[in-house]
Every structure is written in structure tokens, then in C-alpha cells.
Structure 1
């Protein structure tokens, strides 16, 4: 059983009538307090067969001193070559993913689970070398971008393992990502955007409606895919801080075409586009996106291209850059740092004007379709 051991918490632990119960400390791996019918004793786990060493009894031995003794004993075991057998790679990776599930967004978690479960190692985590990790990644995928994502996943994981004292040092700390990233610059031309919207508006459905709304609003894929009816307030889209990438509440006006699309969707769920199957909002998206590419002839098209296209069209229309950034909920642009602290103007009227102009632009684009 795991808990954060504190002096008061240990004091309040009850003694079982029979057998023994061990409470493991969440902050110090391998250290805990074992409760029997007569006493409470601090213990530390070590060795390949996970043996326990008794450090002392409570309350004679204070918790802080017991924790220090446990860390000292573990350090001694590391030098003797026996400690890391306790911390097998598989066990540490599983604990890390359990921790990730409690604090990460679904899209980020999906990548971590993919690489940490498909690229695996046997034995103690401390035995893993940077060469082993790099070669394992190269065997798993030949895609430069996937190799970079996998490398970053492992680097973050090893940093976590160091903080949790499963490792003395990150084997990837001195390395950079294996491939130089090339930022995407894909922007759909007017003809391509017309072709895309013509198809998604004609063939209605969950994925196509999401694509249409992405093109009309410029918002992020996850924000629209998981859109709730409660987040539509009259002609505003209002996202709470826990629903945005930068953890800031975001309110953006919706144009007539976006509102018409939403009004035409039947509301049988609290989600606008239906409850994500098994909490996987992107189920079937790869297949749907391939179908769009095949039917429209769009080359190297991704959904994030729509956000970049939205921004480019606003620049072409003369929308001030700070207004475009407010529409996109960017925080690293023209209004950032000290300026962001003191400039609390919402720019709502300016955004409404820009959205109206953009809606007219799209309407002209679709004339005759």
C-alpha cells in the first residue's frame, strides 16, 4: 500500500490484529513502515529477491532519521552493485505511466504509452545505456519525427526516474534529439481550402464536421474534438483553463457559418460531436483523414494546417497580429511577458470584427459550390 509518510500519518496507522501490513512511502522508493500486531518498524527493500531490512522501530526512530538511513543504505547498495536490481525497468516504466495518467492530457499520454510499451528493456533501469536506447529507437521506427518523439519520451522518463531516485543520472542527458526538426509551413491555398470545405460540408459526419469547425475557428484539434455544449455561450466559444494548451481560459466569437453548423448538429450528448469512444477522441481519424486526402487530392495535409491557414488568411485580410493571436489563444507572440500582465483588454470587439470579415471571406470562397 502506498502513501505519503508523515510523522502524524505514521502515528495514526493502526496495528492489524493478524499478519503484517506495509505502507510504502510515495516520496522515497523502497522505503516504508511495516505494521504488525505489536509494533511499527521502518523497512527498506533491496536485492533481486526484494528482501527487507529493518531500520528501526517507531517511535524510537524518528521518521526523518529512518528516511535518511534508508537512502544511505540504498546508496551503499548502489556502490556494492546490488541496489538497482530492486528497480527493474518494467516496474519503473509502469509506475511512471500510472503517474502520467493522473496529470497529462490524453494526446500526450498516448505518445508516452506507445513508445514506453513498444520499446522495452530487460533488467535494472540503471543498466540501460544511451547506446541501447538510441539503437532500440532506430530499430522501432525509421521516421525522423517518430525517432525524435521517442527520444524525448525516454529523456523525460529518465528525468522523472532521477527525481524519484530510481536512477543516479539520466543516460540521455548529454544527447540532443537524433534528427533536426523541420517546422511545418503548409498553408492551404484558396482552391485547396474550397475543395476541402466543399467536401466536408457535403458529406456531414463527426469527423467532417470537426474539420469544418477547425477551418472556421482556427482552434486546436483537441479543443474542438472534445467540445462540450456547455462551452457554447450564445455566439461565444468559451474554453476553461483545463481545456486549453496554455492553461488559460479562452473566449472567442463564433461566426455565422460556425453557428449554423452547430445548430444543425443534434445534441444527444454533452459532447457536441458525441462522446469519444472509450475516451479516445481521435478514434478512426487516420482513416478519415486518408479518405479526405484521396478524394480531394490534398498533398501532405494535416489538421493543424487549418490553424496555420486560418492565421495566414487573417494576415492577408489585414487583421492586426495581436487580434489574430487572441483568436488563436497564443501567449508567446506580441502580447507576452510584462505586456501580457498589464494588458488585460479582451479585444472582444476587435475579434468579432475579424471573425465577421473571415466569415465573409469563406462565403465568397464557397460561392457557387
Structure 2
């Protein structure tokens, strides 16, 4: 859209509800104002393929200064001082990872690399469009990666590329976590659950005992992986509000098989699943999970899928949904709003019966 950019016009131009809108100055060719959902930036187009260059944000950069900078930049570009930079996704990705290794934790760098490896854009970075990104994200639905994490990693990467002038703008800068991305709904069927549960019960290791407890209780990975001996008392698991995702303390009756697993473990150190160092919780899950995946030949699953699987099997066993939500320590659903405020019943006996029923279901499953 072309218009005469004035101080008053720039001030009054509205921000779009989504995406970006560019207003090109009628008096200075190639100079304009780009409005996104949260900001206004002065930009200039130059070169044969009309490459973008962001000059600065309004109002930090005034219109007069931006127009002056645009004229200087366009003049220099006409003499070849500003050549277009064409960088492939793979080259930029390796440079990004190398930069991250200097300033971020090893696990963070590893996850950035893992998620970015799922994207294999053939276009140069400067040519990527929003549609290209979502086309790739749609392809990740059936892969082991998490779409939301992949989206976040890509957004961080694109912002880094803009700062390093490999791209003129981030094509997904204005997007929050897209609603169109599918959430995981993986539930292990009986044959898969039988194969996994039989394996971890028969081949007992530190990690396999942890997986067995996740299957038996439906608790979150960190809640079991960081489990301390002082959190187990009189057949119950007691988690403080500091140890749960929703910051609500949680007491859970442990089913018989879970108690048997815990009782046969040596209770040395602080953590139940301490590795070589008894002062630290279980670490290195990714490596041992990959080994488990190779040993148990079933479709890819995550440890969090075991929580969803327990919930589904509880429904099959006729356990009321509010009891299952108590077991999972869910704050929403049956215990949201007024119900959560006034219903202070502990449901300990109901949870104990449900988990014992589920325990028996698992035993029948592996013995069938």
C-alpha cells in the first residue's frame, strides 16, 4: 500500500490483528513502514530481488531519521556496497548451533539441534515464507518430535538469523503457539502395554523400575524420576507443592506392585532413582529411553503417553473420572472452579481401590 508517510500518518496507522502490513512512502522509493501486531518498523527494499532491510522501530527511530538513513542506504546500494546475502538453512543452522554452544547449556543446544534437524528447507533463508514453515510443521505430526517445541526452536532460530542479517524478517515473528498444531493423543494399546510392562518388570534396571512406576501410578516423569525416600511413607507417595506441576501438594496411595518395586530397591542416598551419585535424581533419560525403544519393538511413545494410557484404562475399568483426576492430580476438569474450592474430600480410599484394580489389570495383561 502506497501513501505519503508523515509524522501524523505514522502515528495514527493501526496495528493489524494478525500478520503484517507495509505502507510504502510515495516520496522515497523503496522506503516504508511495516506494521505487525505489536510494533511498527521502518524498512527499505534494495537489490534486484528486492531484499528487505529493517532500519529500526518507531518511535525509537523517528520518521525523519529513518528516511535519511533509507536514502543513504539506497545510495550505497546503487554502488554495490550492500550485496545480497544468500545463506542456506543448513549453513545458518550450524552457525546458530555453534553460537549457542558458547553461551547455553549443553541440553538446550542439543534440543535446538534435535528440533531444527526436522526441518530441511531447500530455499535460501531470505526466500522462506510463512506457508513454508507451516507446511513443514504439518509434516511433523507423525514424527517423534513435539510440534510446539519445534515451532519455538524455529522461532528462536529465525530471530537469530534476522539479528545476523541472514533474513530480513522472521516469517513467524507475530505468531504465538499455533492452535492448528495437533496435541499428542498417543495411548498404548493392550499389546503395546503388555510388551512394555513385561519387559521393564522382567529386565529390572534403575530406569526400567522408574518406567514401571510411571505405568502403575500415572504420575509425571519428573515426579517419579526425582522421587525421594522421605516422600514415601506408610504406603503413600507424598509430593509437596514445590514438586508438582500445578503447585498443589499430592498424596497418592501406592498400589501393591509399586510398593514391591520400591521395597526391593536399596534405600541408600536421598533419591529413589539416584544414578551413580546418590545425591542427585535420575539423569540421562534420553539415552536409556532410546535403548528401551530398541529393545521393545512398538510404535514411538513418550513417557508422558503412559500417563494418558493409565487415564484411558481407568475409564475402561469403570473408575469415575473425578477419581482418575485425583490420581493424576489434575486441577482442571472435575476439580476446577467452585468444585475445587469446596470439595476437600481426599478420595484416598477411592484412589487406593482404583489403583489396586488397575494393578490387577496389568498383572492379568502380562500373564494372558
TM-score w.r.t. the length of structure 2 is 0.57
**Greater CA drift, 336-345 or 268-277:** 268-277
Please list, as runs of the form range in 1=range in 2, the aligned pairs for 1:289-300 lying within 5 A after superposition: 289-300=289-300
User: Which digits, 9 at most, give the CA deviation of each residue in 1:84-105, with x for residues without a partner?
Assistant: xxxxxx9xx99xx99xx9xxxx
Cα pair 1:269 1:275 within 8 Å, conserved: no
Instruction: Report what 1:222 is aligned to.
Output: 222
Instruction: Report what 1:188 is aligned to.
Output: 188
- Give the Cα separation in 2 of the matches to 1:274 and 1:199: 21
Instruction: Report what 2:47 is aligned to.
Output: none
Task: Give the C-alpha shift of residue 335 in structure 1.
Answer: 1.8
Cα pair 1:226 1:276 within 8 Å, conserved: no
Instruction: Report what 1:349 is aligned to.
Output: 349
Instruction: Report what 1:366 is aligned to.
Output: 366
Instruction: Report what 1:266 is aligned to.
Output: 266
Q: 1:328 to 1:76 in 2, by over 3 A?
A: closer
- Give the Cα separation in 2 of the matches to 1:117 and 1:308: 25
Task: Give the C-alpha shift of residue 319 in structure 1.
Answer: 0.5
- Give the Cα separation in 2 of the matches to 1:339 and 1:357: 26
- Give the Cα separation in 1 of the matches to 2:301 and 2:151: 25
Task: Give the C-alpha shift of residue 363 in structure 1.
Answer: 2.3
- Give the Cα separation in 2 of the matches to 1:346 and 1:157: 46
- Give the Cα separation in 2 of the matches to 1:360 and 1:239: 25
- Give the Cα separation in 1 of the matches to 2:344 and 2:187: 31
Cα pair 1:220 1:307 within 8 Å, conserved: yes
Instruction: Report what 1:209 is aligned to.
Output: 209
- Give the Cα separation in 1 of the matches to 2:276 and 2:331: 29
Q: 1:183 to 1:226 in 2, by over 3 A?
A: same
- Give the Cα separation in 2 of the matches to 1:149 and 1:200: 29
- Give the Cα separation in 1 of the matches to 2:276 and 2:183: 30
Task: Give the C-alpha shift of residue 280 in structure 1.
Answer: 7.7
Instruction: Report what 1:163 is aligned to.
Output: none
User: Which digits, 9 at most, give the CA deviation of each residue in 1:242-294, with x for residues without a partner?
Assistant: 111111111111011000000011122100011587968441x3332233333
Determine whether 1:245 maps to 2:245: yes
Tell me how many residue pairs correspond in the alignment: 257
- Give the Cα separation in 1 of the matches to 2:270 and 2:303: 24
- Give the Cα separation in 1 of the matches to 2:157 and 2:243: 24
RMSD over aligned Cα, in angstroms? 4.4
Instruction: Report what 2:88 is aligned to.
Output: none
Q: 1:77 to 1:290 in 2, by over 3 A?
A: closer
**Greater CA drift, 144-153 or 190-199:** 144-153
- Give the Cα separation in 2 of the matches to 1:154 and 1:240: 35
Instruction: Report what 2:305 is aligned to.
Output: 305
What is the DSSP-based 3-state SS (H/G/I as helix, E as strand, rest coil) of the residue aligned with 1:197? helix
Determine whether 1:330 maps to 2:330: yes
Instruction: Report what 2:288 is aligned to.
Output: 288
What is the DSSP-based 3-state SS (H/G/I as helix, E as strand, rest coil) of the residue aligned with 1:261? helix
TM-score w.r.t. the length of structure 1 is 0.57
Q: 1:234 to 1:156 in 2, by over 3 A?
A: farther
Instruction: Report what 2:81 is aligned to.
Output: none
Please list, as runs of the form range in 1=range in 2, the aligned pairs for 1:1-369 lying within 5 A after superposition: 78-79=61-62, 114-115=111-112, 143=140, 145=145, 148-152=148-152, 174-177=174-177, 180-275=180-275, 281-283=282-284, 285-367=285-367
Cα pair 2:274 2:280 within 8 Å, conserved: no
- Give the Cα separation in 1 of the matches to 2:320 and 2:309: 16
- Give the Cα separation in 2 of the matches to 1:220 and 1:367: 27
Task: Give the C-alpha shift of residue 232 in structure 1.
Answer: 0.5
Cα pair 1:236 1:253 within 8 Å, conserved: yes
What is the DSSP-based 3-state SS (H/G/I as helix, E as strand, rest coil) of the residue aligned with 1:199? helix
